[in-house]
Amino acid sequence: MVNETPQVMTIAGTDSSGGAGMTADLNTFAAHGIYGANVVVSITAQNTQGVRQVQMITPDMVMAQLKAVADDLAIRAVKTGMLGDADTVHTVAKALQQFDFGPLILDPVMVAKGGAQLLSDAAVEAVRTALMPLATLITPNIPEAEVLTGMTIQTPDEIMAAADKLHAFGTQNILIKGGHGDAPVVMDYVRLTSGDHFWMKTTRFDTQRTHGTGDTISAAITAQLGLGLDLKSAIIAGKAYVDATIRDGILVGHGYGPLNHLAVVTAQNQPEVYDDI
Ligand SMILES: Nc1ncnc2c1ncn2[C@@H]1O[C@H](COP(=O)(O)OP(=O)(O)O)[C@@H](O)[C@H]1O
Ligand SMILES: Cc1ncc(COP(=O)(O)O)c(N)n1
């Protein structure tokens, strides 16, 4: 008799070029040695240069997939990626209240690296009101945090104020990712529900091969939670993993290239962790 294999799930869109979305999530789960279920909410015709076309899956079919997983698997943690429109957000929120999939990691995917909009304006409000109160952790990048809070975010103080505002919308823990911009260091900020907060600092790797970085860090955190790590350790481990996948790069496509999900994490990928900067 073997013990049941740890299982996690992604609810997301597909990327035909294989670098972002659900594919990045599943590759990340596999790299962590954890089993991944996958509920498809949208199909994108996409490559490293941009998103060409999007086809949403009907809410009925999304719910059927979620129910099929709930009826059979033992999901320990779940993440959401591209959700596309308000109907899908509400369908997913309903299922998350109906079924126990463990902690929710909400990656509020809004814009692809090439600039395509992946979440409608109406859906932003649905994310804020229907999904954020259900989430254990939300992982916006700076532009996404600006849209969700209505704030302009440039300084560390503004990042911390935005995290407080996101917490006030009902999400327990906040990770604001600092990949955007061109400063020589990348600073990600974490505000935990306990009131504990910290910054994770790594050097910026000078590359355009960043297709799927947001998907990858949120999937890695989900995997680590499924494997039993506490949230703070899971966030730091997720950051180290995404750093490894960026630095130990692969060459695919002609635009924002995908990451190396088979990269091995070493001591060099560990972020410096500070309470204050
Ligand atoms: N050029 C880079 N060098 C090192 N780390 C990066 C780089 N770009 C992004 N990251 C890291 O990848 C993760 C995703 O960040 P970000 O690009 O801001 O999110 P998103 O993909 O959602 O836009 C963060 O932990 C960020 O610090
Ligand atoms: C289907 C899908 N989901 C998410 C992203 C965001 O990717 P990134 O992590 O590069 O912002 C994407 N480009 N496509």
Q: What confidence tens digit (pLDDT) does each residue in 5-53 have? A: 999 999 999 999 999 999 999 999 999 999 999 999 999 999 999 999 9
Q: What are phi and psi of 108, to 5 degrees?
A: -80, 70
CA of 206 relative to ligand 2 center, distance in Å: 20
Residue to mutate, 105, 185, 210, 260, ligand 1, most ligand atoms under 8 Å from C-beta:
210
Check if 257 has its Cβ closer than 6 Å to any atom of ligand 2: no
State the pTM of this model. 0.98
CA of 13 relative to ligand 2 center, distance in Å: 8
Atom 4 in ligand 2: residue holding the nearest Cα: 21
Confirm if 118 and 110 have CB atoms less than 8 A apart. Answer: yes
**pLDDT band, very low/low/confident/very high, at 112 (cuts 50, 70, 90):** confident
The interface predicted TM-score (ipTM) is: 0.98
Structural domain boundaries of the chain? 7-274
Q: What is the pLDDT of residue 277?
A: 67
Strands laid side by side in the 50-56 sheet: 50-56, 35-47, 7-15, 75-80, 104-106, 137-138, 173-176, 185-191, 197-203, 272-274
Helices 86-98 and 59-70 cross at an angle (nearest 10°) of 20
Q: What is the pLDDT of residue 228?
A: 98
Check if 235 has its Cβ closer than 6 Å to any atom of ligand 1: no
| Joined tokens for residue 96 | 């998350």
Distance of alpha carbon 25 from its chain centroid, rounded? 9
Report the C-alpha dihedral over residues 204, 205, 211, 212, rounded to 10 degrees: -60
Check if 204 has its Cβ closer than 6 Å to any atom of ligand 1: yes
Picking from 117, 28, 113, 263, the residue whose alpha carbon sits closest to that of residue 8 is: 28
**pLDDT band, very low/low/confident/very high, at 116 (cuts 50, 70, 90):** confident
Q: Is the pLDDT of residue 158 over 80?
A: yes
CA of 71 relative to ligand 1 center, distance in Å: 35
Check if 258 has its Cβ closer than 6 Å to any atom of ligand 2: no
CATH architecture of 7-274: 3-Layer(aba) Sandwich (3.40)
Residue to mutate, 215, 256, 261, ligand 2, most ligand atoms under 8 Å from C-beta:
215
